[in-house]
Structure 1
Amino acid sequence: MSTMQQDQQNTPDAASIRKRSIIDCDLHLAPLRGGYNALKPYLPRFYREQVETWGARVPGQNAMYNNGGINGSMQGRKVPPGDEAVMLDFLRADLLDKYNIEHGIITGMDYGINTTPDTEYAAAICSACNDYTIEHILDKEPRFKASIMIPKQDPVKSAREIDRVGSHPGYVQVIVSNGADKPYGHRHYYPIYEACVRHNMPFGIHVSMEGIGINPPPTGAGYVSHYAEYRLARAGIMMTHLASFIYEGVFELFPTLKVVMIEAGTLWIAPAIWRMDEDWKALRHHTPWVKKRPSEYYREHVRVTSQPIEMPHKKDMFLPMLEAIHADECLMFSSDYPHWDFDSPVQAFPKLPDELRERIFYQNAAELYGLPQRADNVDGGQG
């Protein structure tokens, strides 16, 4: 059920929630106007002319698993005509001010650039997107923070891009698609993690592009037929990345690295880490470099965003499941604005204990991204 329509009510609980500023960890805003055409001023002439002649030339998932895509963005919103400045004013009113968002994390643009075999072109598009984001968003609205787009197909070029823009105060993490030709624990990606550590930035994985372009099928049994199946397959791929990080020993090699799993669901993590703990105990001689239980690596190194969060049929199961995934340390609120399955901060969760709500809606993200405490310090910062 979409919360865009539910969010019109103004109950006392909702009013109380809105008084507390929050951090939203999954916003899709760039480029604000014009799609790839907006990036042309930031591209070398060679690629600018290619975009003008042939279009973006980037694989996309909408043709295969139509999830609304561009048509689904801003659904139910009456967006005024105008340039980037007009759009930014709209976002201030419709998002930041409406939901009292103290910081909003932009999680990249079209992840299709992570699926093209032309790594030079991918690198140029990622750089253009990062420069556009600085000029039109980060330097205009300090409440927005952003994720560095990288051409993950080429880890060396990716590391250079992180080094190029990683010192900008508006960038707080690196972002890639969930779809990948190798699990992310593979040593192929080490140059990216070295750059993340240099800049003290988390490595964010956002669902998208599974089975698209150069990526393999979204399941071990091949391609699925419908978008509902595809959404479920995404969680399985994210689980593979999680296991890969742990069993390949990435967190031993990069002890300060943090990983953020974005928009792949949440509560499935509990049985996944339970299973990994059991298998590690039985098979630890296969991976002697894994020195701690997988659940410990998860708790220390992994953070997960809430949207879409699974709701058990029995309400009394919800809080124990949050405890099982260490939500007080690892779970961060996200809305996925402005997509069709957007989760309103007012409606996304049932009533939570104040301290847990504070951790999920603000503190966990503030600690991960190095963001300051609430400016208004409502209720002493305790929710």
Structure 2
Amino acid sequence: MECQLEEKKVSKVGTKETSLLIDSDVHPYIVSLNELVPYMDESLQRRMRLGRFQQSHNVKNNYYREFKIPSSHYENIGPLQGMRLDAVPPSGNLPGSDQEYLRSDLLDRTNTTFAILNAGHGTMSAHHNVDLAAEYNSAYNDWLYHEWIIKDKRFKMTILVTPLDPNLAIKEIERVGKREGCVGINLQNINIPLGKRHFYPIYEIAEKYNLPIVLHPDAEGSGEYSPSQAVGPASTYIEWHSSLSLVAQRQIMSLVFEGVFERFPKLKVVFIEYGFSWLPSVMWRMDKNWKGLREEVPWVKKLPSEYVRNNIRLGTQPSEEPFHPKDLIEIIRMAKAEDMLLYSSDYPHWDGDPIDKVFKHFPQDMKNKIFYQNAKDTFHL
């Protein structure tokens, strides 16, 4: 599906002229899980206590609890628990829940060509009831497709699947993966490194369907199936958030050294919201160690950095802020990462990157790639 839009400068954001824009990380929110009821069978509604099976909260039956989606234990104490105050729609509902307001506040304001929608309210990847998780993911995928994707061609979506059961993940990809507007697989982190054979069946169908794997922070640290931060749990949100890049670094090493990209050379894996300034040192260390230890991994036939540049993509948010802003450009050049970065607003979260400030010093050819071309190629738009 080729984008038919003429590739030229078309808009202004702030005071600087910018190129066509693809936003790789926009979060649609649901106000209540009951919005998913039309896409659930009665059994799932009953198990999740939704619809007519939802218990009221009064003194008589206050021992009933609403179903809770696994989430991080760390609370963002920023505005509205991580939401932008100016993203609250006129209705007063949760930011990201009002499609019309999101269109005007984000897509129209920044003249966004396409917005990749990644689940904003949490996923079921960390839930050990795999069958329940798979059914919930199917309901959510149908809701997002019918309530958002088919209503505006600028919206694209990543598919929620269940990483704990590759067979159920494949079943869901086969069900919805060829729908127009489905452009990626939202896999999520579990306690199995991405390079393990556990994931090979998912990678095989992802490559066959031309869908990149997308990882986004969500339920890390929430329970049995989510990894902790490197040496143990964090004490605060700021510690947890600042250490997220360790997850991406560890997963990239697993993917490369386990030989995933030799087996699946067309597979792209996109790390959203893990930063990117750490990339040069990771690539240098991997290359150095491979030169001395490659007998241990004979299936890794090229420099690890070559696999990283060819198969790994990174969202720009949250971009690091060096003392000298132009140093960020040098870091990108050090890693030869101009073709690897995808602009991500993280809307409607308050810690997103203003496009007219973070990238102010970037040369125009680099901005063209980061704002548009790299995402267009990665998601086959």
AA aligned to 2:132 is: Y
Classify 1:86/1:270 alpha carbon distance in 2 versus 1 (closer, same or farther; 3 Å): closer
Take 2:97 and 2:224, find their aligned partners in 1: how far apart are those partners? Answer: 37
Matched, 1:323 2:333: yes
Matched, 1:150 2:149: no
> Are the aligned partners of 1:267 and 1:325 in contact in 2 as well (CA < 8 Å)?
no
5 Å-filtered alignment, 1:237-252, equals 237-252=247-262
> Are the aligned partners of 1:218 and 1:234 in contact in 2 as well (CA < 8 Å)?
no
Q: In the alignment, which of 114, 124, 128 is matched to residue 125 of structure 2?
A: 114
Take 2:13 and 2:43, find their aligned partners in 1: how far apart are those partners? Answer: 55
Superposed displacement of residue 369, structure 1: 1.2
Take 1:47 and 1:229, find their aligned partners in 2: how far apart are those partners? Answer: 36
Aligned to 2:47: 50
Take 1:348 and 1:293, find their aligned partners in 2: how far apart are those partners? Answer: 31
> Are the aligned partners of 2:23 and 2:345 in contact in 1 as well (CA < 8 Å)?
yes
Aligned to 2:173: 162
If the length of structure 2 is used for normalisation, what is the TM-score? 0.88
Take 1:124 and 1:183, find their aligned partners in 2: how far apart are those partners? Answer: 24
Aligned residues: 355
5 Å-filtered alignment, 1:169-188, equals 169-177=180-188, 179-188=189-198
If the length of structure 1 is used for normalisation, what is the TM-score? 0.87
Classify 1:82/1:223 alpha carbon distance in 2 versus 1 (closer, same or farther; 3 Å): closer
Q: In the alignment, which of 121, 130, 135 is matched to residue 141 of structure 2?
A: 130
Aligned to 1:380: none
> What percentage of residue pairs aligned between the two structures are identical?
34
Take 1:78 and 1:160, find their aligned partners in 2: how far apart are those partners? Answer: 37
AA aligned to 2:161 is: I
Matched, 1:90 2:106: no
> Are the aligned partners of 2:36 and 2:140 in contact in 1 as well (CA < 8 Å)?
yes
> Are the aligned partners of 2:156 and 2:181 in contact in 1 as well (CA < 8 Å)?
yes
Classify 1:21/1:13 alpha carbon distance in 2 versus 1 (closer, same or farther; 3 Å): closer
Take 1:340 and 1:142, find their aligned partners in 2: how far apart are those partners? Answer: 26
Superposed displacement of residue 311, structure 1: 2.0
> Are the aligned partners of 1:172 and 1:201 in contact in 2 as well (CA < 8 Å)?
yes
Take 2:187 and 2:234, find their aligned partners in 1: how far apart are those partners? Answer: 22
Q: In the alignment, which of 253, 268, 273 is matched to residue 278 of structure 2?
A: 268
5 Å-filtered alignment, 1:1-383, equals 14-17=14-17, 20-31=19-30, 34-51=31-48, 52=50, 53=54, 54-61=65-72, 63-66=73-76, 71-81=81-91, 87-177=98-188, 179-371=189-381
Take 1:324 and 1:218, find their aligned partners in 2: how far apart are those partners? Answer: 30
Take 2:336 and 2:122, find their aligned partners in 1: how far apart are those partners? Answer: 29
| Structural RMSD (CA) | 2.2
Superposed displacement of residue 13, structure 1: 7.7
Deviations 1:125-173 (A, max 9, x none): 1101110011110100110111000111111100111111011111100
> Are the aligned partners of 2:127 and 2:225 in contact in 1 as well (CA < 8 Å)?
no
Structure 1 portions without partners, runs of 5+: 1-11, 372-383
Superposed displacement of residue 194, structure 1: 1.2
Take 1:69 and 1:111, find their aligned partners in 2: how far apart are those partners? Answer: 18
Superposed displacement of residue 209, structure 1: 1.6
> Are the aligned partners of 1:106 and 1:146 in contact in 2 as well (CA < 8 Å)?
yes
- Runs (4 or more) in structure 1 with deviation over 6 Å come to 82-86
